[in-house]
Structure 1
Amino acid sequence: MTQAASPGGPAPPRGRRPAQGDAVIDRAFALLGAFEPTRQVLSLADLTHLTGMPRSTTLRLARKLVGAGALERREDGRYAIGLRLLEIASLAPRGHGLRAVAMPFMEDLFHITRRHVLLAVRDGDEALLVERLSAHDADPVLYRVGGRMPLHSTGVGLVLLAGAPPAVQERILGSLPTDPAGREVPDTAELRRVLSDVRRGGFATVTLSVPWPRTSVAAPILGPDRTVCAALSVVLPLEAADHKTMTPAVRTCARAISRELRSLPCQDKPALGDR
């Protein structure tokens, strides 16, 4: 039996209507967030399933996003991210603004090392990869530009975590992930010691064995206010790691980027505050 609306009261919900207060922009971002590196092209049915929204709502939002250039509709009817989002993202100071300053120095470091050179910033409780330079014959790397990396177990992540506000550090330390055996990775006391060493020494070194033996050497980039705003690293095979030469090279490059950021006119300085 269908429930009748009370006189003068709101109409009862129908079907899979979004919860009250679910703003259109929230639903639009949920739709855009359905796309990932492993699913770059999605059908309307895929979007409906992944977002949990009604098909009619998904179709209406998809059409609006296509009209705005945020999505593109392919000849087969499926959807992909549109170039308008790339255009807008290029204005992000903590992304492309920082990248524009750092790129010449990253290229110098890349030509010296011929390995992966990474530039990352902290975004909440994760590191966000802003740029990566890689030789065509370099070993595969796990992270793509725009991808997210853990703070507690990567070179750039440790540098960013060591320079983060104490409240952020405590939040990360209090919510460390566990490995399949149920053990904390790494031990909290050990991580505190590592972060102290990073702050004191001005660099981080991380050695990992999965999916291939490698070492990451990272150093902090300081913004105009002399706080850590980004991290630079070189990732290279474990057997090729020469810390006597690699660590000074990475630190020198990071310091050069920091000096360049400080020397920019005020109107040209990218906004680099952490989120």
Structure 2
Amino acid sequence: MLQILRTYSYVPFPYFGSPIKLNLDSFTRLRCLRLWNTDVTDKWLLDLSHKFPFLEHLELCCCSMSERITISGAQLMILEFTNDSDLKEVNIDAPNLLSFDYCGDHRAIISFLTSSDHLVFNASPVHEFTHGYYSLREFIQNIKPQKVLASLSLSVYHSNGIEQNCLSIQQVSSIPPSIKCLELDSSPRNETLYFRYMDWLLFCCCPKTISFVFQYECGLKPFTVFIYELLMGRKKQELFDYFGDTKCWWHDLKIVKVTYSFNVDENVDFKTTLNALLLPTDDPESVSFSLEL
């Protein structure tokens, strides 16, 4: 019976004494495997494709593993990886991989040895406030090969440390790598830092889309309106007052299209529409800007 099992999920219960010793060697026809808070050895990961030749979906959540890991699978199509340890390097060898969700250390190097041309890559770099300033640009530069960035949706979910990052910007005039989407759920509460925060975000990447996610009242609405008016060319004087003659590449960005996840009245202006959105909501709502230079 074990040989025909297709899906297996394992979550240890810490209050039931020592965790059971997990032996999956008999589950040779697994297609979906989910492991939480489990010790995963390098050898087990290296043998993954041999042990489970039909595995299509692998989820590793808060598992204990070494600083450098390699995940491989000839049939692997979906990989979900969440890790709160100081992981330094993730190597992925999966020629048919269609979806990779990463939530882990912002300093990790992520290398795709092989992957599908249709890959959807979602990343949420985790930042511990005790680590101080961190660079999204460095996180993106640590993703190899660079062609994978065209499929990257980068989620910046944080509130602690925003001000610290805003005050540690390195100006660059060149256009950084293009990514698919930049997703935000928070912003500085101090409106005087809006320009700095925008600069910090777009110092790292050139997104095809910027998406603002609303679920709780966390001060994101005013920042979204600020970005909208900035990209629509309504803050030229403020832009000059802040930057002077210094011109950053993103000053030429334009909004091509605004899309909403909720119903809107086309006759109502953007600011009024956004302020009418009632928060909190049961499910996240979003406003997205499609951009071009």
Please tell me the TM-score bracket, short chain as reference: under 0.3
Q: TM-score, normalised by structure 1?
A: 0.26
Higher relative CO (Cα under 8 Å, sequence separation at least 6) belongs to 1
Structure having the larger proportion of residues in strand = 2
Structure having the larger proportion of residues in helix = 1
Q: TM-score, normalised by structure 2?
A: 0.25
